Each structure stands twice: as C-alpha cells, then as structure tokens.
Structure 1
Amino acid sequence: MKNPGISCGKLLCLKFSLETLMTEPIIFDITINFSTLESDIFPLIHKIRPQWSLSNTQFKLFPEGNTNIIIGLFQIDPYSKQIINESDGLIIKLFGQNSDLFIDRQIELNTLKELSKYDLSNKIFCQFHNGLIYSYRPGEACTREQIADKHISKLIAKKLAQYHLLLLEKITNEQNPKSYLIPTMKKFLNLLNDDS
C-alpha cells in the first residue's frame, strides 16, 4: 500500500491531513446572515477547502429544514458548471431564529461530534454563532414507502441499534447519567405557556 502523503498531489494531501487530523471544529466569532452568505462563507471554509471560491462552487438550498436553513456547497468545474465530486461537498446549517429556545445547541454539538466518531453523523468542520459547517453525505430522505420496505427498514434498525448501544455504553460509563427527556418536555411546556 502506498503512503498517501507521498503519492498524492499537494491539495489532496492538505485536504487529507486537515480533515483526518481535525478532532474539534474550528470556532469562528461571527454571525452569518443568509442574505450575505455568498461573501461571508468562504473565509470560514478556507482552512478545509482552500481551493474553493465563489467562481468554482455552487450553492444548493435544501428545503427539508424545519427550523433551520440548510445549504449545500459543492465544487464545480467553472466551464461545464458540473459538480466535480459530490461527496466532497459541505453543508452549511444556519440555525432558525429563536430555535435555541427549545434546542440546546451545546448538547446538539457534543452529540454530533460524538456520533461522528462512529460514522453515525457527519463530521463538523466549523462552528459559528448561528450555525455549523459539516461534511455532506450523498443520498436522499426516505419516503414512507421506502421506510416500509423490509430491506431499508432493516438497515435503519441496524443503525438505530448501533446508536442505542453507544448511548448505553456512554450512560454505563458516566458517574451520574441524567435524563434529558423530562427537562426538555418542561422547556417545551414553558414555551407554550409563554405564548398564551
């Protein structure tokens, strides 16, 4: 097997080493505005995708976000405008306004970082005041019919079992494990009471 540090080109080596060595997301003291996203995002991703710029990338808005704005960013061939390698894409997640009232963003971040160690979540590259930038995984959301398919439902069950085994291991190893269910439900009820 060849040493990838010797046989690959400079940009590939740089990408390989940065993405592989990153254990914590890069934290930026900035708030990104959706209306200025195109100019604001490139300084943030420069350390992980130094060759990307406005002229050789394409943004794609994903409508699936309920409380957040989810945008894909992909490198394209500047002439054909075709995506070069979809799996190198990035996801920019802008948190919805006031969504922090019912979502603890620190717990979300810690959970995503932990799950990404086991390939159960995307790798987080950057964190900023109102969002995250993480790796893109090609695919599509399952339809109800697909979820009912035996093969797909077995694959989902295997991933859920892997996830729950990790949680069980973590809880077993913690000194004082705590439940998030009851405090989260109370938070939701308080938010409902505040609206009335």
Structure 2
Amino acid sequence: MTTALEIPSLTILPLTVSHSNLLADAKAAVLVLFPDWADKDLALVQCKDGITNKLVRCTNQQKDLSVLIRAYGKNSERLIDRNQELINIHILSEYSLCPPLYGKFNNGIVYGFIPGDPLKAPGMSDPHVSSLVAHRLAEWHQVKIPGPKTSKLFPILHKWFNEVIAVYASEPSTHRFHQLFSIDTIKQELAFLQKRLEAINAPVVFSHNDLLCANIIYNKSQDKVSFIDHEYATYNYRGFDIGNHFAEFAGYDCDYSLYPSKAFQLRWLTEYLTTATGAAPTDAQVHDLYREVNHFYLASHFYWGLWAMVQSSFSDIDFDYMEYAKMRLDEYYKQRDVMFSI
C-alpha cells in the first residue's frame, strides 16, 4: 500500500499546530510551506463547522489563493487512520475529485481550498442540489484505491466498541455514560446488526462515509458540488454511504423529521443509478437499492453513536458528544424494526 512518504511531492514539515495557538501556528506552517508568500499578504480565519479537528483557512490576498490547515483533533488517531486519509486525498486529486495535498506537519495537513458554500441541513433536500450530490457520489463510488476491496464497516465498529470498553470500564468520570448506555446491550446489538447487514451482500465501493451538509460544497456560479473531509473515506458498503448521507439530512440537532421521504429517495436513487451504470435503472433496481439503503441507515446511527462515545472521553472541542451518541442510538432503536420490515 502507498504510504504518506511515497506520495509524490508531499512536503513533510517538522512543525506542530497547537489548538491553543491555532492561527499563529497555522500561519507559521504556511510560511514554511510557501516560502515566497509574505506574512503581510495573509488573512487567516478559523472554520468552526467541524466537530473532530481544528480548521483554518489561510488566504493569500495578493495571489487571491486560499489553502486549508487542519490540526487533527486530540487523540483522533484512535478513530481515524491518518495515513489512509493522505492516500485518499492523493488519489482523489488524481480523479479531479478533490484539491491537492500540499504538505503534512506533525499533527495535521495543508491542502487545497474549494470555493463555494457548505450546505445547511435544510438545503440537503433541495431537488437540484441533491441531484448533483447523487451524480457526484456515483462518481466517487467508481474510485479505486490500494488495498483489498472489502468493507471496513464492521472492523471499524468493533475497533471503536473496544475503545469504548477501554475508556469507560473503570474511570469514575464515566458515571453519565453508565446512566445512558449498557456495554452488554451495545455488544449484543452490534452482533445482531452485523449478521443482518452482511446477509444483504451489498456492493462494496470507495465511500466517503461522512457526507453531512458541512462536507458538501456547492459552487453556485459553476453549478457543481464537491465533497470535502476525506478522513473517514474507505471501502465500505454502498448502502451505508448513501444511508448515512440520508441520515445526515437531520443535521447535528438530529431532527429526523427531515429524513427524506420514500418518494424523494426513489428519485435520488434513480439519479444515482443512472450515473453509476450509464443507463436508466428499472423500478425493481431502484426499489432494491431503496431497501438496501434503509437497512444500512441503521448502521449509520450505530457508527456515529460509537464514534461519539469515544470522542467524549478525550476531545477538546466544545460539543456534547455523549448527548449526540444518545440521540443517534435512540433513533437506531426507534427505527430498527421499521427499516428491517422494508
């Protein structure tokens, strides 16, 4: 497999961008990476949509060019394969599906900026924009990356479950966790979910796995969408990537009244399959994918529920991860029998 050091033209910077000195350290990294840039020309602003990392946009006003500096979240390597992220960006840029990777520092990366506006949760259901997303995701799913084409979904879920056990087994500060969740119940439910979903034999594709509104950039002047933040991208079940996207219509507030209707999903899935296969799908193909997606929708809640449980133990970002985990798992249990009846 390609490693970070084997990625062509990747500059490795012996610098650390501290969360407590974010803008100054980010500027220092940029000035080392781009030695012809002048300090006086740079404008930096922190982007605050994310809940994993610290992100800064640096604009060279003289050149009218922006780059992004991402300082990884504290201990986030327990959740994310950072070397895989570098490989993802490098390969996606070769497919013209993301901007270039300029450099890596001790705890983060510098990469290209995509002009446009992140979607907001209500905008996810816009008929035109959502159609663009369906076409773009179908293109994503054609990407090939090094390594076996096998789904990482359940290996990741079991890894995160083991992280939860390690974190919450003995520390006295975990009282809230034990009030909200049962390790034994989660373990049993994970085994049940794995058995049901693996029986579907869903196609495995290169998946984004985190296609929420803030990770979809709409450039109105070009009428195109782009996907950003590729740290969770890997081979996964097609149904998971689409089901997770539909789950994210609810936003961080988990307003599941925004979950797309069956009619909306059927239109979206028709657009997706048309791009993916190069031909108009049959009604049966669309309905089969609808069933697949709504079964894997359940896995999305389990995925981010476990993720949030792990994050709650170490992240220094101001976000109530434990409450978020509860909302995701509550929705899982609420919808489990409904979705499996489709």
Tell me, yes or no, if structure 1 residue 184 matches structure 2 residue 184.
Answer: no
- 1:14-47: per-residue Cα shift (whole Å, max 9, x none)? xxxxxxxx94321123322234455544554347
* Equivalence for 1:15: none
Tell me the amino acid that sits aligned with residue 151 of structure 2.
Answer: S
- Secondary structure of 1:165's counterpart equals coil
Count of residues in correspondence between the two structures: 162
* Equivalence for 1:166: 143
User: Max radius of gyration: which structure?
Assistant: 2
Distance 1:104 1:127, change over 3 A: same
Which residue among 75, 87, 97 is the counterpart of 1:120?
A: 97
Distance 1:46 1:158, change over 3 A: same
Tell me which moved more, 139-148 or 55-64: 139-148
* Equivalence for 1:64: 49
Report the Cα distance in structure 2 between the residues aligned to 1:138 and 1:153, rounded to whole angstroms: 18
- Secondary structure of 1:189's counterpart equals helix
Structure with greater proportional helix content: 2
Matched residues, percent identical? 26
**Mapping for residues 1-196 of structure 1, pairs under 5 Å:** 23-42=8-27, 44-46=29-31, 49-76=34-61, 85=64, 88-167=65-144, 170=145, 176-196=148-168
Q: Which runs of 5+ in 2 are unaligned?
A: 1-6, 169-342
Q: Which runs of 5+ in 1 are unaligned?
A: 1-21, 78-83
Question: Is this contact kept in 1: 2:13–2:33, CA < 8 A?
Answer: no
TM-score w.r.t. structure 1 length? 0.73
Give the CA deviation at 1:92.
0.3
